[in-house]
Amino acid sequence: MSILPQHFPEILRIKPSVTRVTDSYMWLASKSGTYSAKSGYYAATTMETEAPIENQRTFKTIWNRKTSPKLQLFLWKVVQGALVLGENLAKRGLMANVACRYCGEIETSEHIFLHCYHTRQIWSNTIWTSNFNPANCDSFSEAFLASGSSIMLPPWGLVGDIFPWIVWGIWTARNLYIFENRVLTPVEILTKAIRSEKEWHQARASITQPRPSLTHSRLWLDLHLPTERPTAPGYGDILEYIFSPSS
Ligand SMILES: [Zn+2]
């Protein structure tokens, strides 16, 4: 009870089985009580439609954003509150690691991805043409949606969307610090994000680039095949010489 005080009333409402059946897990989103991918997908989509209007718009934008599917899932987790952040741990009564490792404030998604002094140093770089700065946004959704309509400055040499890559970089740097005690500087996080975005775009371009069609390769072969008989004796000529009746 001291570990999960917020669940105290719910725990007291549990009635033990009169037939003394042992406890087991049940997946409530299916009739059988067992989990299936289909019922999991249905439950996830229902959660999205039941989410506040602002989050519904954010979810839709996440799935339409031209970025890596891995990052789409990650952004969805940030908005859904599904990351193992201090704030989310506190909601489950796990009070041991709720503070930001960099500054000691409560670790919310807004804090770690927008407002922490360490993160602000990344966003203080002039990345976009407008004066858009994610650190000035109140919520993560607001920053994410605004980043989609902001144009990046040409010197960065980016054709895609850098916001998800930076957010992912902040998250991996935070984990590196917590679990391996290694600190990445804001410059290192930003540089890594730019490099990852470029690599992803190059890999994607090489996959989607059209391959030469069969007609073209046939044409190329036809044009480069010799049209004249070679002057040196060929295999047939040698055979003709060996088996010639006159020899
Ligand atoms: Zn902090």
Token duo for residue 59? 């979810």
Q: What percent of the chain has pLDDT over 70?
A: 70
> Would the pTM of this model clear 0.85, i.e. be above it?
no
Q: What is the pLDDT of residues 209-239, one digit of tens each?
A: 655 554 444 444 333 444 454 455 444 444 4
Q: How far is the CA of 67 from the centre of ligand 1 (A)?
A: 27
Residue given tokens 């952004």 in the structure block: 75
pLDDT band at 81 (very low <50, low <70, confident <90, very high): confident
d(CA 247, ligand 1 centre) in Å: 97
Q: What share of the chain is helix, strand, coil (3-state, %, to 5)?
A: 55, 0, 40
Domain boundaries, the chain: 70-78+109-208
| Predicted local confidence at residue 117, as pLDDT | 95
Share of the chain above pLDDT 90, in %: 26
Asked whether the predicted pLDDT for residue 9 surpasses 70, the reply is yes
244 has a pLDDT exceeding 70: no
Average pLDDT, the chain: 77
108 CA to centre of ligand 1 in angstroms: 9
Q: How far is the CA of 100 from the centre of ligand 1 (A)?
A: 5
Query: Ligand 1: distance of its center to the CA of 246 in Å?
Result: 99
Q: How far is the CA of 116 from the centre of ligand 1 (A)?
A: 4
80: Cβ contacts below 8 Å, ≥ 6 apart: 47, 51, 55
Q: What tokens appear for 216 in the block?
A: 């073209």
Q: What is the pLDDT of residue 148?
A: 83
Whether the Cβ atoms of residue 29 and residue 39 lie closer than 8 Å to each other: yes
93 CA → ligand 1 middle, Å: 21
The residue type found at 148 is G
Give the tens place of pLDDT for each residue, 10-26. Answer: 788 787 777 877 777 78
pLDDT of 192 above 60: yes
Q: What is the pLDDT of residue 225?
A: 40
Average pLDDT (100-120) is 93
